[in-house]
Amino acid sequence: MKVLVVGPGGREHAIVRALLSDPGVREVHAAPGNAGIAALVPTHQVDASDPLAVTALVRTLDPDLVVIGPEAPLVAGVSDAVREAGYPVFGPSQAAATLEGSKAFAKQVMAEAGVPTAMARVASNTEEAAEALDVFGAPYVVKDDGLAAGKGVVVTNDRAEALAHAQSCFDAGGEVVIEEFLDGPEVSLFVLCDGHTVVPLAPAQDFKRIFDLDEGPNTGGMGAYSPLDWVPEGLVEDVVARVAQPTVDEMARRGTPFVGVLYCGLALTSRGLRVIEFNVRFGDPETQAVLARLRSPFGALLLAAAKGKLADADPLRWAPESAVAVVLAAHDYPATPRTGDRIRGIKKANAVPGVHVLHAGTALDEAGKLVSAGGRVLAVVGLGEDLVDARERAYDGLAKIELDGGQYRNDIAAKAARSQVTLPEQRVPRHAAGAVGDQA
């Protein structure tokens, strides 16, 4: 099988790597890729979010499968254009990608499908925002309705800050979703979908804030690990039954079937399971940790999803080890990341047993030297017999890498490795009338 992977980041590097380890995959191409991907497979410089440009490339390469990594091309309709050209695509249509493109739309679908999520209100002006903040109280959660690369959400006890974030979204011509605060640890579960059948991968946990101990602003994700030994038994089955399958059924009922990966961002709260958000693609950097453990042929799985044949797929096989991915970010990420800094030591990091480096924002400069080219520069993945071992390997690998001004968190998977992740005590569900998504 010949596969084209569309996208430039660490997630796409992980996808390319997993495809290359599938004996059924003969050839992989990437567009545009990054310096790490270019070292593995041919890359093609194309605007990943331009449906015509991507379709033209697809016609030239004539692949058996096109995998679209990031949300921007999906929301721009790239999968529709490639599908119309007659090629199997792993990645939802523009209509189905609205599950990530609009948080208000996702809330409507969840309400319709009976999926448990935070109670929420949509606000499009200051008065509505102020009223919604007072309905839910502190801590305040204010979300930009549209795509914001994981940075459009403000969670704060400061009402003025919450209102200011809403105002900045209105000033930019947008709306906000204001919702109740969800307590409890977060879980990311990726569910492969073929429009009807769903197949869950192993759950992961992401670290969203820039600094240790979850301090500082939100980022796209500073690290991840998988599997999670602290989640309640049956969690994956529960998410499939109460979240993924009803959502996929509702999207099919609406005539916009969901094909691709439904990323269920979940909180395990004192009132039970709640969806924090849906994304319509693999998470970054969770994918770097999750795919490090997958032992089933990845290409065959994605092709089965693209062709509506997931019901025939064999049960997934996983390595017994744990995986930890630690992100190395650029100076001043997430505010105004500096690019063009020299990166050294990747070979040494890759030589550490159980370690591999996945590039994200990297490029070669004019002299052919590896330099940073984005906010999140790379991730070091450690695979070890348990989380303690995997963490040690990942951080050993990271210590070999040099990047001027580089930042990383020291506490990725630390609590879980010490068995210190706690679930909040369960409370009796509470109801509030008139709010979207009150499915408690």
Q: Which residues bind ligand AMP (CB under 6 A)?
A: 118, 141, 143, 150, 153, 155, 179, 181-182, 186, 208, 218, 265, 276-277
Nearer residue to ligand GLY within complex by CB, 209 or 307? 209
Q: Which does 3 bind (CB under 5 to 8 A by kind): ligand GLY, ligand AMP, none?
A: none
| Residues 362, 12 contacting (CB under 8 angstroms) | no
Single out the residue of 221, 223, 334, 375 in contact with ligand GLY (rule: CB under 6 A): 221
CA dihedral 311, 321, 324, 277 (to 10 degrees): 30
Selected range binding ligand GLY among 191-199, 276-284, 302-310, 406-414, rule: CB under 6 A: 276-284
153 binds, among ligand GLY, ligand AMP, none (CB under 5 to 8 A by kind): ligand AMP
CB of 398 to ligand AMP, least distance (A): 23
Looking at the Cβ atoms of 92 and 297, the one nearer to ligand GLY is 92
- Given the rule CB under 6 A, which of 176-184, 247-255, 279-287, 304-312 is the region that contacts ligand GLY? 279-287
- Does 12 help bind ligand GLY (rule: CB under 6 A)? no
Closer residue to ligand GLY (CB): 285 or 382: 285
- In the complex, minimum distance from the CB of residue 150 to ligand AMP, in angstroms, rounded to a whole number: 6
What is the Cα–Cα distance from 229 to 322, expressed in whole angstroms?
A: 10
Q: Indicate the residue among 195 and 223 with the shorter CB distance to ligand GLY.
A: 223
Q: How far is the CB of 87 from ligand GLY (least distance, A)?
A: 25
Distance CA 160, CA 249 (A): 40
Does residue number 150 form part of the binding site for ligand GLY (CB under 6 A)?
yes
Q: How far is the CB of 148 from ligand GLY (least distance, A)?
A: 10
Least distance in angstroms from the C-beta of 187 to ligand GLY: 12
Q: Between residues 55 and 102, which has the closer beta carbon with respect to ligand GLY?
A: 102
**158-217: which residues touch ligand GLY (CB under 6 A)?**
206
Give the nearest distance from C-beta 135 to ligand GLY in angstroms.
27
Position with the least CB separation from ligand GLY: 221
Q: Tell me how far apart the alpha carbons of residues 333 and 327 are, in angstroms, rounded to a whole number.
A: 12
Residue 179 interacts with, from ligand AMP, ligand GLY, none (CB under 5-8 Å by kind): ligand AMP
Residue closer to ligand AMP (CB basis): 12 or 286? 286
284 binds, among ligand AMP, ligand GLY, none (CB under 5 to 8 A by kind): ligand GLY
With contacts defined by CB under 6 A, name the span among 163-171, 194-202, 277-285, 293-301 that binds ligand GLY.
277-285
Chain centre to alpha carbon of residue 3: 21
- Minimal distance, residue 284 CB to ligand GLY, in Å: 4
Q: How many CB atoms lie within 10 A of CB 222?
A: 30
Terminal Cα-to-Cα distance of the chain (whole angstroms): 45
Compare residues 370 and 413 and give the one whose CB is closer to ligand GLY: 413
Residue 144 sits in the site that holds ligand GLY (CB under 6 A) = no
Q: Which stretch binds ligand GLY (CB under 6 A): 27-35, 164-172, 238-246, 278-286?
A: 278-286
Sign of CA dihedral 344, 346, 351, 353: positive
Assess whether the previous peptide bond of 185 is cis (omega < 30° from 0). no
CB of 180 to ligand GLY, least distance (A): 21
**Contact by Cβ (8 Å): 404, 332:** no
| Nearer of residues 283 and 361 to ligand GLY, judged by Cβ | 283
Which of the listed partners (ligand GLY, ligand AMP, none) does 118 bind, with a CB threshold of 5 to 8 Å by partner kind? ligand AMP
Residues that bind ligand GLY (CB under 6 A): 150, 206, 220-221, 279, 283-284, 286
